[in-house]
Chain A
Amino acid sequence: MLKYILKRIVMMVPVIIGISFLIFAIMNLTPGDPARLMLGESASNEDVEALREEMGLNDNFFVRYFNYLKGAVQGDFGVSYRSKVPVFNELFSRFPSTLKLAFGATVIMVVIGIPVGVISAVKQYSIIDNISLFSAFLLTSMPAFWLGLMLILIFALHLGWFPATGVDGFINFVLPCITLAAAMLASLIRMTRSSMLEVIRQDYIRTAKAKGAGERRLIMKHSLRNALLPVITIIGMNFASMLGGTMIIESVFAMPGLGTMTITAVRMKDTPLVIASVVFVAIAISLMNLLVDILYTYIDPRLRTQYSKR
């Protein structure tokens, strides 16, 4: 098992190097000059040139990338061009609010999504099923920024129940979390439903029925555990993509998180910061997938024996 985890982590390395190269290249294509952006329009050409030299911007592209990589391996991800703060510190000062946002949204998503999906499957083609399927469609079709604006309009501006912006307290996270959860909820409901439907059709459910098991027992003991396997993947994937997909929601609710930081960094050509945040999100996603796979083995005994043999 440990060997497997290590292998997976090693396999992440080339992808991460690839990502950093890709972002480095994209940022390099950008017409603007980071040195000029840092010093402002009024700075003299000599000053800009001196700063370019100091930042190593005059070197060949591959030399610069190689230098960056060399630093990164030693744990030095560079300094934000704009704030002069080490990228790492910048990242971790922003990360908590994004993590809270993603976590809160995941909780909402799971608490609503799984029961609704299960009920929808058990009562297939009933009114409840149709309503939940239709709402799922409606939710996927709603852009997060619009839903966010609508929630602000109703609950912040008109009813005044929740603040429209900020990250100071729990209450600030309610509307953003709902918005973020809504987008992901639909996929969870549908996945749970179809997975349940698949399991309900299995022979072993018929065996359980033939034993005289009631509907409740059939669902709780026999179906749910088997049906949850693919559902957990979706939850993990959704959580991971939430970490990287908060840009729009954070800017709607004016939250200083990873997403808003990345957008600003992209606009300001703050290459080290952009690379760091993209790589960070990519690592988070890969680790999440790994975690899901490990979790799998605890739910599915078939996999458990398979791994212990490795």
Chain B
Amino acid sequence: MTDNTVLNNSKAVRKSKVKKRSQLKSIWFRYKKNKLAMLGLVLLIILTLVSICAPLLANYNEDAIRQDMKNRLQFPNKDHIFGTDQYGRDLFARIIFGARVSLSISLITIAVSLSIGIIIGSVAGFYGGKIDDVLMRIMDVFLAIPQMLMAISIVAALGPGTGNLIAAMSISNVPRFARIVRSSILTIKDQEFVEAAKACGTRDGRIIAKHIVPNAIGPIIVQATLNIAETIISISGLSFLGLGIKAPTPEWGSMLSEGKEQMRYYPYLVIIPGMAIVFAVMALNLMGDGLRDALDPRLKN
């Protein structure tokens, strides 16, 4: 490579970087002004820190799992700030380890369903015609079944357990992502820069990866954020019905289900895990919504 081309390249790179950065900057600028969205971000950071640092705050086996019948059903006090459950386990420890469980499972679920959804959606959108028809009809079938019902049936078929739960949740999320990806692709596909790339003989896979996905990323991120929130609710819902995470693993939904029996005299057993769910879900909802506004300024004003 001669010096000249290096120079030209670096110039081009710099230019595109500047443009990208300024775009990100303006998105961040718009996001920052949205107080609710910032609240969501702060809540999410707290939640993430707590779940990462959970082992520093409590001992998993000692506090969250081991039963201690002598100390059962203690109202919140200075030794157990959230109190203890009917087996004498520290509720605070179970809540923070529960955050780990909920967050990690929903992240994996979204990652799995997003990857499959992107593949199906982009193939359908990009190639159109028969492939599109067939794929989308199949997605319609999945979408026509209420999500919770779908997940319950799959869990019932596969049996409870973390892996099966992830599979069930992923399957029921795939169609939505596939749809979003497909519709973004349909709007982008005929634009000139894609035709230009085609005219240059670029391979289809490369066009999808380099041109189409980056342009469709906005709505995908928004949907993914909101879906994580929904997945957290669904997972705890399934666990609440006894179809999700198995005891004694601390999970917010199963904690609620256990606490429900003692609810009348020990209301904190249901109030606290519920608040934890609301906290996490709200953080993600606020963020997803803020991102949507920031990415699409037309919606504001």
User: Do A and B touch directly, given a CB cutoff of 8 Å in the complex?
Assistant: yes
Q: Give complex CA distance A236, B299 in Å.
A: 24
B212 within 8 A of A: no
Closest Cβ neighbor of A21 among chain B residues: B141
Shortest Cβ gap from A167 to chain B (Å): 19
Choose among A138, A266, A285 the residue that contacts B153 (Cβ–Cβ < 8 A).
A266
Choose among B141, B146, B153, B237 the residue that contacts A143 (Cβ–Cβ < 8 A).
B237
CB-contacts of A233-280 with B (<8 A): 241, 244-245, 247-248, 251, 262-263, 266-267, 269, 274, 278
Q: Can you list 17 residue pairs at the A/B interface with Cβ under 8 Å?
A: A15-B137, A15-B140, A16-B144, A19-B141, A22-B145, A26-B153, A141-B277, A141-B281, A141-B282, A142-B277, A143-B240, A143-B278, A145-B256, A150-B274, A241-B146, A244-B146, A247-B152
Q: Give complex CA distance A18, B142 in Å.
A: 9
Choose among B142, B159, B271, B285 the residue that contacts A150 (Cβ–Cβ < 8 A).
B271
B217 within 8 A of A: no
Q: Give complex CA distance A22, B172 in Å.
A: 13
Pairs A-B, 10 closest by C-beta atoms: A244-B146, A18-B141, A146-B274, A141-B282, A141-B281, A266-B156, A282-B144, A30-B157, A29-B157, A26-B157
Q: What residues make up the interface of B, taking CB atoms closer than 8 Å to A?
A: 36, 137-138, 140-142, 144-146, 148-149, 152-154, 156-159, 229, 233, 236-237, 240-241, 253, 256, 260, 263-264, 267, 270-271, 273-274, 277-278, 281-282, 285-286, 289, 299
- The answer to whether A14 touches B148 (Cβ under 8 A) is no
Shortest Cβ gap from A102 to chain B (Å): 12
- With A31-B159, A149-B274 given, is the CB distance from A248 to B144 under 8 Å? no
Choose among B229, B241, B256, B273 the residue that contacts A141 (Cβ–Cβ < 8 A).
B229
Choose among B144, B264, B282 the residue that contacts A286 (Cβ–Cβ < 8 A).
B144
Q: Mark A148-164, 1 if CB is under 8 A from B, else 0.
A: 01101100010000000
Q: Give complex CA distance A144, B274 in Å.
A: 10
- The answer to whether B270 touches A153 (Cβ under 8 A) is yes
Interface size in chain A (residues, C-beta < 8 A): 46
Q: Give complex CA distance A19, B140 in Å.
A: 9
Closest Cβ neighbor of A152 among chain B residues: B263
Q: Tally inter-chain residue pairs, CB-CB below 8 A.
A: 122
Besides the contacts A18-B141, A145-B253, A247-B148, what 9 more A-B pairs have beta carbons closer than 8 Å?
Answer: A134-B36, A137-B282, A138-B278, A140-B285, A141-B229, A143-B237, A143-B281, A149-B263, A149-B274
Which residues of the partner chain B approach A108 to less than 8 Å between Cβ atoms?
Answer: none
- The answer to whether B241 touches A248 (Cβ under 8 A) is yes
CB-contacts of A55-89 with B (<8 A): none
Q: Give complex CA distance A39, B9 in Å.
A: 76
Q: Give complex CA distance A281, B144 in Å.
A: 9
- The answer to whether B153 touches A153 (Cβ under 8 A) is no
Which residues of the partner chain A approach B146 to less than 8 Å between Cβ atoms?
Answer: 241, 244-245, 281, 285
Shortest Cβ gap from A34 to chain B (Å): 13
Closest Cβ neighbor of A138 among chain B residues: B282
Which residues of the partner chain A approach B285 to less than 8 Å between Cβ atoms?
Answer: 137, 140-141
Shortest Cβ gap from B292 to chain A (Å): 11
- The answer to whether A266 touches B256 (Cβ under 8 A) is no
Shortest Cβ gap from A149 to chain B (Å): 5
- The answer to whether B270 touches A146 (Cβ under 8 A) is yes
Which residues of the partner chain A approach B137 to less than 8 Å between Cβ atoms?
Answer: 14-15, 18
- The answer to whether A137 touches B286 (Cβ under 8 A) is yes
Closest Cβ neighbor of B271 among chain A residues: A150
Q: Mark A9-38, 1 if CB is under 8 A from B, else 0.
A: 000001110110011001101110000000
- The answer to whether A143 touches B152 (Cβ under 8 A) is no
A97 within 8 A of B: no
Q: Give complex CA distance A181, B36 in Å.
A: 24
Which residues of the partner chain A approach B154 to less than 8 Å between Cβ atoms?
Answer: 26
- The answer to whether A145 touches B237 (Cβ under 8 A) is yes
- The answer to whether A248 touches B237 (Cβ under 8 A) is yes
Closest Cβ neighbor of B142 among chain A residues: A22
- The answer to whether B144 touches A285 (Cβ under 8 A) is yes
- With A19-B141, A150-B274, A157-B263 given, is the CB distance from A143 to B236 under 8 Å? yes
- The answer to whether A145 touches B36 (Cβ under 8 A) is no
Q: Give complex CA distance A96, B140 in Å.
A: 27
- The answer to whether A137 touches B148 (Cβ under 8 A) is no
Which residues of the partner chain B approach A144 to less than 8 Å between Cβ atoms?
Answer: 237
Which residues of the partner chain B approach A105 to less than 8 Å between Cβ atoms?
Answer: none
- The answer to whether B156 touches A15 (Cβ under 8 A) is no
Q: Give complex CA distance A285, B256 in Å.
A: 31
Which residues of the partner chain B approach A134 to less than 8 Å between Cβ atoms?
Answer: 36
- The answer to whether B36 touches A133 (Cβ under 8 A) is yes
